[in-house]
Amino acid sequence: MLLIRCPYCEEERPELEFRNAGEAHIARPTNIAAESDDDFEKFFFIRANPKGVIYERWRHIHGCARFFNAVRDTVTDKFVMTYKAGEPKPSKLPGASK
């Protein structure tokens, strides 16, 4: 069972308290009704599914109930870092060589 750091509770809590909520940094278009079919497809259906570092949303559903973002390695399952919803995608990851 993983330990996940909730950026709102500011502590590591067991995975059982959390629920994954899909890829992060996919903003809902402000004028969504005017989106083209192609743009809507990209927004709603297309996901990166990388082998390696993924940016994804988690919810501390059985804790503070907040949604937040996390950087995780899909190969090792390791959480690289977590940060609050609305904060920008981190440009530099801790421990990364470049």
Determine if 89 is a binding residue for other proteins (CB under 8 A): no
**Bridge partners for 58 per DSSP:** 20, 68
Asked if 54 is part of the footprint of other proteins (rule: CB under 8 A), the reply reads no
According to the binding rule CB under 5 A, does residue 9 interact with Zn ion?
yes
Q: Which span (48-56, 74-82, 88-96) binds other proteins, by CB under 8 A?
A: 74-82
Interface region with other proteins, contact rule CB under 8 A, candidates 48-56, 65-73, 88-96: 65-73
- 57: enclosing H helix or E strand: strand 53-59
Q: What is the Cα–Cα distance from 46 to 55, expressed in whole angstroms? A: 14
The Cα–Cα gap between 39 and 29 comes to 9
Among 13, 23, 40, 53, binds other proteins (CB under 8 A): 40
Which of 61, 80, 81, 83 binds other proteins (CB under 8 A)? It is 61
Establish if 90 lies at the interface with Zn ion (CB under 5 A): no
- Shortest spacing between CB 70 and other proteins, in angstroms: 14
